[in-house]
Structure 1
Amino acid sequence: MNVLKLTALFGLALCFWACNNENFSISAKKTVIFDFESSEDAGWTGGVAEYAPLTPPDSIKLSIQRDTLPTGLDTTKHALHVYSRNIGTSQFTYIKKQVGGLTPGNTYSVILEIDLATNYPQNTPAGMSVLLKAGASLVEPVTSTDLKFNLSRGVGESDGTQMVSIGNISNGTARSGFVIVNKQNFSKPVSVVSDKNGAIWLCVGIESGYKGPTSLYFDRIKATISQ
């Protein structure tokens, strides 16, 4: 039997095995994009953590909802609008979404790319002291009973093992006005193991050292999940 026939037979055998093995994937990469133009993308939820214990919860006024982009941008397009108010020295607001369709128990590398509409000028307290964190986890991101956030996120510009810092929320200009800026963790992907159902949690956090409201519009969130 010549080499050509052996190659053909091997290719057929591989194809047959792949078609009958549900854990086999031709591509080791999964890309998920949320642009919030469809109501199906509005399944992101979230919470608030790391605030002072005596803070009245209703004073934070957390709101996470699909909305149109603000005036100054294309108001025919939609985004995920996240609003919260920090009345203390620090606060961590986060949004989360579970993504499935992965191989159970596999280790994945996750990169999040975010198009963010923000109106906070650079070199201002809000623009510089409110930071973004991005990452992924096996367990659901939640706030514990003692108001702590359950993922390793690092503090300030430092990175955690499950979330990393991707910069501040400034619009990159010296003036207020909404601008869409791109934030991502290309240089420091997060490693995560999928659960028994082949799912992981994506998480984006807003770490605020600014006393006052923070209002941001997530125009697009793209997750690249690779083996």
Structure 2
Amino acid sequence: MQFKALALLLVAAAPAVFAAPAPAANVKINSDLRVNPDGWTPIYADYIGHMKSRFVNKPVTVAQASQANTKTGYYIEGNNNSDDLFMGIMRQVTGLVPNQLYKMDWNINMTSPFGDNCFGVGGSPGGSNYVKIGGATNKPNVGQKRTASGDFWTFTNFDHGHQADDGKDMSTVSNISVPGAECEGTEYGLVPTILDLRRRPVKADANGSLWAVIGIDSGFEGVTGVYYQQIAIEFIPATAEEAEFPF
């Protein structure tokens, strides 16, 4: 009995051992926008109020669905009279670990009517339309402020940068040039697949969701229309140290 009591005493006195929490798993989404919009919605910013009537956004319909046509997908169009138009699409991503930081590994297929090495007002219609990727904890929204001329300037609540320059929330990864295509802008071709790991992490909210954003920051002062066809993103858990030193 004495030995049994001693054994129980030693067990009770032993330090508690807790299992380490399991590491957060990677999460993937894969949207085929040639078939359906899959939760993606449009967002436009950096323009004067009257320009809004010149925007076009058309998610693919069932009747249009095709995986072979270069003019099928989520269509976004804008006339860049402000020489700074941002136009893109965004989607809420759920099922993440609450308050976890995530890097985003992107794989993007899109089509454009502009060749490379072309000339246009303000810049090249292909080379000066900069593709940007990023994310935000909270839903990206737009607001307005009155300018000195009395117009209303529409801006975003997230930092996407300016034309080719990165912002805190978005990074420039490519442009919409189609190698070897004509400069007339009449035939759509495939933009080279964009593969990019954005190392600056985005934090999921308390419900385990965040917003993914892809868009074009335009330096071409004309009409631009593109089809987003496929977007795949892998969300990779990141540490606080990676958030502080993301590059």
**CA distance in structure 2 between the partners assigned to 1:172 and 1:190 by the alignment:** 29
What are the residue-to-residue correspondences of 1:121-160 with 2, within 5 Å?
A: 121-124=115-118, 125-146=124-145, 147-160=154-167
What are the residue-to-residue correspondences of 1:1-227 with 2, within 5 Å?
A: 24=22, 28-39=25-36, 41-53=37-49, 55-58=50-53, 60-66=54-60, 68=64, 74-75=68-69, 78-124=72-118, 125-146=124-145, 147-176=154-183, 177-180=187-190, 181-186=192-197, 188-227=198-237
Higher-Rg member (1/2): 2
**CA distance in structure 1 between the partners assigned to 2:214 and 2:26 by the alignment:** 21
**CA distance in structure 2 between the partners assigned to 1:37 and 1:135 by the alignment:** 22
- Quick one: which amino acid aligns to residue 174 of structure 2? G
User: In structure 2, what is the equivalent of residue 11 of structure 1?
Assistant: none
- Quick one: which amino acid aligns to residue 52 of structure 2? P
| Contact 1:136/1:190, CA 8 A, preserved across alignment | no
Q: Where has structure 1 moved over 4 Å in runs of 4 or more? A: 67-70
TM-score for the superposition, normalised by structure 2: 0.72
| Contact 1:46/1:64, CA 8 A, preserved across alignment | no
SS at 1:87 equivalent: coil
| Structure 1 unaligned regions, length at least 5 | 1-13
> Alpha-carbon deviation of 1:156?
2.5
Aligned sequence identity (%)? 24
Instruction: Kindly tell me the number of residue pairs found equivalent between the two proteins.
Output: 202
**CA distance in structure 1 between the partners assigned to 2:82 and 2:135 by the alignment:** 27
> Alpha-carbon deviation of 1:42?
3.7
> Alpha-carbon deviation of 1:64?
3.4
- Quick one: which amino acid aligns to residue 34 of structure 1? S
> Alpha-carbon deviation of 1:178?
2.3
| Contact 2:103/2:200, CA 8 A, preserved across alignment | yes
- Quick one: which amino acid aligns to residue 150 of structure 1? N
TM-score for the superposition, normalised by structure 1: 0.78
The CA RMSD over aligned residues, in Å, is 2.7
- Quick one: which amino acid aligns to residue 94 of structure 1? G
**CA distance in structure 1 between the partners assigned to 2:136 and 2:105 by the alignment:** 12
